[in-house]
Amino acid sequence: MNSLVLVGIATSLAYILAGVSLHPRSHYEGRNPPPPPAVVDARLTELNINDKTPILERFGNWAGGLTQGDFGRTWDGRSVNDEMRTRIGVSLRLLLIGTIVGGILGVLAGAWSAIRQYTPSDHAITLLSFAVLSTPVFVLAVLLEVVAIGFNDAVGAKFFAFSGETSAGLQGGFWTHLIDRLQHLVLPTMTLILAQLAIISRYQRSAMLDVLGSDFVRTAQAKGLPRRRALFKHALRTALIPSATLFAYSFGLLLVGATFTEKIFGWHGMGEFFVDSIIQSDINATAAVTCFAALLVLIAGLLSDVFYALLDPRVRVK
């Protein structure tokens, strides 16, 4: 409940900040020929983005609409809700696959490199994750793109696709479309997976190392459990606990990363919507995306609490 209040406040804050710092009026006044000021005012008031109305009054109107699930309209009068409907799906597809696959691979890579501490594979994983951690998403994405272009050229076929979610005007049945979508999905998702993998594997490695030296893992092996089972059931499970907490924090980063990925690969998702709305001084749309982001961070936080409780029996007993 407390966190829902936080989301509400965060969104309101975003709305007020956006209302103060963005000026959609310039869109109308900059038209050629310039419309009469009264018309502009009337139009802006109709859309509830008139900067002559006090910000609190605008906020009141907007919040009133929001209680009925209406995020208002964009600066040129389209419904923000309609716009978001398709975009949310696009973003969630990227984010879900990125989080889940990246998280699982990160945990495995971290655990693997901890078990083989100071072997070449450990060094390789550590170095790689360091390199990826130090590469901003917008460089990483381009790097992948260049590699993919090289691969396409080498194979002589269009294996990876770079822009959009689908090829325009594609003919064919279900399978053709599915394969086409997958081809478009690979690069943006890879970007997010790599970023996620690098963070998680670093933490997982150090958590795993802490656990590997502990008594209960030695006991588990001493009582005759095969090494593999001892490591998986006793060590990995305990070492997952800190990663569960990290998950909530890293999700915010992933969200920002998705903004870059969507923009670079031309996906029409929420991240792209956000950047475009700020550039177009669109107050209502900006606030709506912030609300979406805050909700996702909240859900990530809740999920990480659930993981925590699943993994750590002590939390459940309390």
Partner 1 sequence: MSIPSDALNVIRDRDAGDGAPLDETRAASRLGLIGRRFAQRRLAVCGLLAILALFALAFLGPYLGQWEYTEHDFEAFQEAPSAEHWFGTTRSGADVYALTLRGMQKSLIVGLLVALISTSLAAIVGAFAGYMGGWVDRVLMWIVDLLLVIPAFLIIAILSPSFRGQTWLLFVVLLAAFLWMVTARIVRGMTISLREREYVLAARYMGVSTPRIIMRHVLPNISSLLIVDATINVSAAIIAETGLSYFGFGVQPPDVSLGNLIAAGTSSAVTFPWLFWFAGGLLVAIVLAVNLVGDGLRDAIDPSSRTR
Residues that bind partner 1 (CB under 8 A): 3, 6-7, 9-10, 13-14, 17-18, 20-23, 117, 130-131, 133-139, 142-143, 145-146, 149, 205-206, 209-210, 213, 249, 252-253, 255-256, 259-260, 263-264, 274-275, 278-279, 281, 286, 289-290, 293-294, 297-298
Select 60 or 266, whichever has its Cβ closest to partner 1: 266
CB crowding 41-56: b at 16 or more within 10 Å, else e = bebbeebbbbbebeee
Select 50 or 204, whichever has its Cβ closest to partner 1: 204
Select 66 or 289, whichever has its Cβ closest to partner 1: 289
User: CA nearest 247: which of 299, 318, 188?
Assistant: 299
Residue length, the chain?
318
**Cβ at position 264, least distance to partner 1 in Å:** 7
**Cβ at position 146, least distance to partner 1 in Å:** 6
**Cβ at position 65, least distance to partner 1 in Å:** 20
Select 49 or 137, whichever has its Cβ closest to partner 1: 137
72's tokens: 């208002």
221's tokens: 């092996």
**Cβ at position 38, least distance to partner 1 in Å:** 26
**Cβ at position 248, least distance to partner 1 in Å:** 9
Helix H, strand E, coil C: the string for 170-232 is CCCCHHHHHHHHHHHHHHHHHHHHHHHHHHHHHHHHHHHHHHHCCHHHHHHHHCCCCHHHHHH
**Cβ at position 274, least distance to partner 1 in Å:** 7
Euclidean distance between CA atoms 79 and 235, whole angstroms:
51
Backbone angles phi, psi at 166, to 5 degrees: -140, 160
Contact, 45 vs 56, CB < 8 A?
Answer: no
Select 170 or 253, whichever has its Cβ closest to partner 1: 253
**Cβ at position 7, least distance to partner 1 in Å:** 6
Euclidean distance between CA atoms 179 and 200, whole angstroms:
30
**Cβ at position 124, least distance to partner 1 in Å:** 14
Select 146 or 315, whichever has its Cβ closest to partner 1: 146
Select 90 or 297, whichever has its Cβ closest to partner 1: 297
Select 6 or 108, whichever has its Cβ closest to partner 1: 6
Select 135 or 181, whichever has its Cβ closest to partner 1: 135
Of all helices (H) and strands (E), which one includes residue 292? helix 283-311
**Cβ at position 114, least distance to partner 1 in Å:** 9
Residue 296 CB: number of other CB atoms within 10 A? 21
Euclidean distance between CA atoms 259 and 185, whole angstroms:
15
Euclidean distance between CA atoms 74 and 24, whole angstroms:
10
User: CA nearest 71: which of 295, 313, 287?
Assistant: 287
C-alpha torsion sign, points 268, 271, 274, 277: negative
176's tokens: 């053709």
